[in-house]
Amino acid sequence: MSEGPLARSTDPWTSHAGERDISDRLGAEQIRAERFVLEHPGRTGNELAQIAGDTDTRRLPKRLPELERKGRVVRGVVRRCSISGRSGTTWWPPGRRPPPPIVDVALEGFA
């Protein structure tokens, strides 16, 4: 599930055992994040985390760029996040074209 080895070949066996555990958890988190993007397209990472009921709002959003690199989700337009009030990237299932960007007056000049 990870993009490269988490343990070096010179690391002790305990590191390699830990790598398998972390890799399994990352895979499960990626599957979960992908499911929320499919069910709630066009949301920001923070919005998806809130919908998921996550207490750690950084966990789910961290999986989204990993899924993008694998072609499992696509990055959409940037808009104001309803959770943080800041600019946030929207996430979409592949093949679902995001709508054209709506100019947010508060974000003008940042394009």
**Is 1 part of a structural domain of the chain?**
no
Number of independent structural domains in the chain: 1
**pLDDT for the residue numbered 55:** 86
- Confidence band of 42 (pLDDT split at 50, 70, 90): very high
Q: Which tens digit of pLDDT belongs to each residue from 54-95?
A: 888 888 999 999 999 989 999 998 999 999 999 999 999 998
Please answer whether residues 90 and 76 qualify as being in contact, where contact means their C-beta atoms are separated by less than 8 angstroms. yes
pTM, full prediction = 0.69
Mean pLDDT of 33-40: 94
| Interatomic CA distance for residues 67 and 34, integer angstroms | 7
**Is 5 part of a structural domain of the chain?**
no
**pLDDT for the residue numbered 23:** 52
Please answer whether residues 92 and 74 qualify as being in contact, where contact means their C-beta atoms are separated by less than 8 angstroms. yes
**Is 52 part of a structural domain of the chain?**
yes
**Is 78 part of a structural domain of the chain?**
yes
Q: Is the pLDDT of residue 98 over 90?
A: no
**pLDDT for the residue numbered 52:** 94
Q: Residue 46 maps to which CATH number?
A: 1.10.10
Q: How far is CA 51 from CA 40, 41, 55, in A?
A: 9, 12, 11
Q: Is the pLDDT of residue 34 over 50?
A: yes
Q: Which residues contact 73 (CB under 8 A, 6 or more apart)?
A: 33, 34, 37, 64, 67, 91, 92, 93, 94
**Is 4 part of a structural domain of the chain?**
no
- Confidence band of 1 (pLDDT split at 50, 70, 90): very low
| Interatomic CA distance for residues 100 and 15, integer angstroms | 46
Domain that holds residue 65: 13-107
**Is 88 part of a structural domain of the chain?**
yes
